[in-house]
Amino acid sequence: MALRLDALPALRTLAAECAGVQAGERALIVTDGGADPAIADAMTSVLATFGASVVTISSDPASLPGDDPPAAVGTAMREVDVVFELTSVFIGSCQARRDACAAGARYLTVPGLSAATLRPGGPFSVDFDALGEHAQRLAAAFDEAQDFQLTSPAGTALRGSFGGRRGRPLWGVARERGGYAAPPDVEVGASPVEGMTSGRVVVDGSLLFLGPDQLGSPVELTFAEGRLVGIDGREGWRLRDALERSGDDRMWQIAEVSIGLNPASRPGGSALELEGIVGGAHVAVGNNVAYGGSNDARSHIDCVLLEAQLELDGRPVEPRP
């Protein structure tokens, strides 16, 4: 089924504002058997209007978020100017993506994209550059922070340390050589210092790419000394199954605590829209290399809270510009 015409402006924003596509550039669309083919087809047409040459390559969906694609996909990533990841399962933290960026490719990870998130007035309608300035200002506060506390009305109470870790702002823009972005997600966060995070996280939004985008009931996570030691709730099996299937004991370590900054995101959208909800947060387990850590686990799994408050050294972080 073809994509609605009113979704095309969002795809043009993805190409022009987020990726900075220019005439004559080589673009690669990476997709998989679980993704909506209408979105990849529409993106091909949009990129052609910018004068880019476009190749689409597809494979089976990744077994776990962050898994490497087949070798042929990784090779193709390194041979182009810009990559659009339009898969059903996130792979953007994989080694193949890191290698592609190191080779100079701009990489836009947009997994799980749906027509709902491409709606007029939706999260692609924001001023990404202005939100980027805000994200970078907040990242400077993370750079200076020692302790953090994450709380939520649902019962989250998590404490740890960011001491010595740099804030990582993502604002949906990758126009520079080797750049990486995850539009429409806009966020800022950091990786907690290993072994120093304890408490409770009530996930009322999503276990990203481990089933439906929106959880039917909350999942409660318990951390002790930086390690996930408890998973409770009717849908907690989704995360437990993924961690056990990974075969990597490092996957049980906390990897990231971030807050969302996109004011046009809302519950009910696709995965990266949920991740960027302003006033929300997400806590990840597994690989934290992108955040300056040393835990090079197999995967990186985000768990989304729809409403949360983050404090750095006792001072609330304001997600709105």
Q: At residue 182, does pLDDT exceed 90?
A: yes
Structure tokens at 7: 């979704």
CATH number for 18: 3.40.50.2300
Looking at the chain, how many residues does it have? 321
Tell me, yes or no, whether 222 lies in a domain. Answer: yes
Tell me, yes or no, whether 320 lies in a domain. Answer: no
Residues 145 and 97 in one domain: no
- What confidence tier does 3 reach under pLDDT thresholds 50, 70, 90? confident
Residues 77 and 50 in one domain: yes
Residues 106 and 242 in one domain: no
- 209 closest CA partner among 311, 306, 87, 28: 87
Tell me, yes or no, whether 20 lies in a domain. Answer: yes
- 183 closest CA partner among 247, 106, 239: 106
What whole-number distance in Å separates Cα of residue 196 and Cα of residue 257? 13
Q: Cα-Cα-Cα-Cα dihedral of 139, 18, 294, 298, to 10°? A: 140
Structural domain span for residue 184: 126-172+179-315
Strands 227-232 and 219-224: antiparallel
* Coil, helix or strand at residue 72: helix
Q: At residue 1, does pLDDT exceed 80?
A: no
The whole-chain average pLDDT of the chain stands at 96
How confident is the model over 165-183, as a mean pLDDT?
Answer: 97
Residues 47 and 70 in one domain: yes
Residues 110 and 131 in one domain: no
At residue 269, the pLDDT reads: 86
Per cent of the chain over pLDDT 90 is 96
How confident is the model over 41-48, as a mean pLDDT?
Answer: 97
Residues forming a β-bridge with 55:
28
Tens of pLDDT, residue by residue over 240-297, are 999 999 999 999 999 999 999 999 999 988 999 999 999 999 999 999 998 989 999 9
What whole-number distance in Å separates Cα of residue 161 and Cα of residue 164? 9
Domain count, the chain: 2
Residues 184 and 294 in one domain: yes
What whole-number distance in Å separates Cα of residue 24 and Cα of residue 295? 39
- 56 closest CA partner among 68, 66, 47, 65: 47
Residues 20 and 112 in one domain: yes
Tell me, yes or no, whether 209 lies in a domain. Answer: yes
**Which of 105, 120, 135 finishes a domain?**
120
- What confidence tier does 2 reach under pLDDT thresholds 50, 70, 90? confident
Strands 157-161 and 198-203: antiparallel
Residues 56 and 72 in one domain: yes
Residues 213 and 96 in one domain: no
What whole-number distance in Å separates Cα of residue 15 and Cα of residue 46? 8
Residues 25 and 41 in one domain: yes
Tens of pLDDT, residue by residue over 49-103, are 999 999 999 999 999 999 999 999 999 999 999 999 999 999 999 999 999 999 9
Tell me, yes or no, whether 321 lies in a domain. Answer: no
Residues 130 and 259 in one domain: yes
